[in-house]
Amino acid sequence: MTVRILREGPAGGASNMTRDEALARQLERGEIEPTVRIYGWAPPAISIGFHQREDDFDVPELKRAGIDLVRRPTGGKAILHAHEVTYCAVLPLSYGAPRLLYLMIHEALLGGIRSMGIPAELNAEDQDLRRAYATTGGIPCFSTSVGSEIQVAGKKLVGSAQRRFGRVVLQHGSFLLGAQHRELARFVRGAGGSPDNDIAASLTARTTDAESILGRPVSFNEAANALAEGFEQFFAHDPGRLDGDITAQAPGARRTLAGLTA
């Protein structure tokens, strides 16, 4: 059981989501090997789940802040992609059922994250996702957890979503490096069109990030290399077949996001 590792730099929201879906369809057609892609975002973007509504978000304010709004090919809920490392895994169902693949991917991520000195673990309990989706507070991905997600001290560190393409599973998700993802609340319309303060409180209470845990800055390169090594080790990947390299930290990952507080 092997995977190809693609380590790529930052790209815009539409390009990233198109790339992820294209990999899934290429694998489904037998054109590529099972693949893990590790990448960043520039400019920052909010991605929304396949069934979410764009009008839940303040599009003019997003444009003023220089933040993209893009729809993911997977389900799940909204994420502000800023200072993070994102992964995409496209794997055949011959490797396992979707739920097993979900667990395998998170085990690979866990190995990489722990190698950074982060005491991460897989949570065991599910929340009522139907009820979460029925509330405004359920708009952000990181407001809820499902079984086998990666947490530290009960707070979510990685958010993931999955979708089947024929006999292939696409799963992608975000490893949070800093707290910028919490600024999502600024762009969600609550009652009367004002930002939803409950979302900000929920993200603060339910999420954590690598920098907060380690008490130091964490670069895109450091985290991306750790995730790549986790996948390589888990899937017994031949290091000589790696594609690409990480040459620089994602631009703007640690700076203020168009006026947002870092």
138 with 48: CB under 8 angstroms?
no
Chain length of the chain: 262
Strand 79-81 to 45-48 pairing: antiparallel
Rg for the chain (alpha carbons), in Å?
A: 17
pLDDT digits (tens, 9 = 90+) for 129-185: 344 434 444 544 444 444 578 999 999 999 999 999 999 999 999 999 999 999 998
pLDDT for 135: 44
Q: Which two tokens stand for residue 71?
A: 């729809």
Question: Tokens 């490096």 map to which residue?
Answer: 177
Percent of the chain with pLDDT over 70: 78
Quote the CA–CA distance of 48 and 79 in Å, as a whole number: 7
pLDDT tens, 36-58?
A: 999 999 999 999 988 888 888 99
Question: For residues 27 and 32, what is the distance between their CA atoms, to the nearest angstrom?
Answer: 5
* Per-residue model confidence as pLDDT tens digits over 78-103: 999 999 999 999 999 999 999 999 99
For the question of residue 88 being annotated catalytic, the response is: no
User: Which one of 79, 91, 141, 199 is the catalytic residue?
Assistant: 141
Is residue 252 pLDDT above 50, yes or no?
Answer: no
